[in-house]
Amino acid sequence: MRKGNKFGVHRVIEPAGVLPQAAQKLDNAMEIYSNEILIDVLTLNIDSASFTQVKKACNNDKNQMKEMILGIVSERGKMQNPVTGSGGMLIGKVKEIGPDFPDKNLKVGDKIATLVSLTLTPLKINQIKDIKIDADQVDVDAQAILFESGIYSVIPNDMPEKLALAALDVAGAPAQVAKLVKEGNSVAIVGAGGKSGILCCYQAMKNAGPNGKVIAIVRGEKHKQDLLDLGVTTDIVLADATNGIDVYEKVLAVNNGEQVDVTINVVNVPNTEMSCILITKETGIVYFFSMATSFTKAALGAEGIGNDVTMLIGNGYSKNHDLITLDILRESAVIRKVFEDKYL
């Protein structure tokens, strides 16, 4: 049995010299190298930006969505939306472990959630069984490969697998909030009504404490009411995140005329960069977790209004991010119920 490159470069078909995430096509043959594992995939959790694009392109028709997803994976050897460039993650059961795979505690039969993107994961789908159109989840008969460098989380036994999958898909966001938000900070969560937004609001409230402020920015009345019921914010702003001036004026109105210390962007649509930059104070932090973010729009936009903010690109990995996120579901019964109602 041959040993592959630690980062999976041996699976890249084209173009030569790039890592799997940047590749246009991967080798998705399901015979493992000695430092890989083979996974029988149960469910794909497509990231929100990608799933939204697929739904719109297919007019919410499940059969068309199945064809589109199958077409992407057939052409690329992985699930990487060619429009958004993003992927998602999966849950499955370990079928085979190469003798050189570094984690000797992992066992055949373990159920795991991969914590690396589907954009770099060799994947072969035999059949799409069902699409959960309101949950961004696709039930499949499929197999996938995880490289030696790939990270994953064994599904905990105190919650259903699809509940854990839904939370782990966005685990990087609340974990980064845990690092960025300090006691007494004012924080804005742009796109706070989605699953990552709710988790970020909870973590921001926890970090900012009683002297801090957490402002949720949502577009619809339903999201506003949902957040009011959850009690995970101090203020809620109803606004279109693509309208920067409207967001700016409304945030200042609820924040004593001041911009915020930290802004977290977790929307799933493009053109929200300027809203985040406008509402963040000089030397403040803007964290772009959204896969719909344009680096060009953010960089040139901040320059254009002369705002010296620190802008961070969302990193889906942060140390112990799986534990931090799953602990939110353990700590908050109301948030856990929201996730259970949607994903179970």
Residues in Cβ contact with 341 at an 8 Å cutoff, skipping those fewer than 6 apart: none
List, for residues 251-266, the tens digit of each pLDDT value: 999 999 999 999 999 9
199 confidence band (pLDDT: 50, 70, 90) = very high
d(CA 207, CA 102): 35
Q: Which residues pair with 152 in a beta bridge?
A: 114
Task: State mean pLDDT over 54-81.
Answer: 97
pLDDT for 315 equals 84
- Percent of the chain with pLDDT strictly greater than 70: 100
Is 316's pLDDT higher than 90?
no
83 to each of 86, 196, 283, how far by Cα in Å?
A: 8, 22, 33
* Domains, the chain, ordered by start: 9-155 (no CATH), 172-343 (3.40.50.720)
User: Is 240 within 8 Å of 269 (Cβ atoms)?
Assistant: no
**Can you give the pTM of this predicted structure?**
0.85
d(CA 287, CA 13): 33
Compute the chain's Rg from CA coordinates: 20
pLDDT for 291 equals 82
Virtual torsion, Cα 278, 197, 111, 159, nearest 10 deg: 160
224 to each of 38, 129, 204, 232, 255, how far by Cα in Å?
A: 43, 34, 17, 11, 18
pLDDT for 181 equals 98
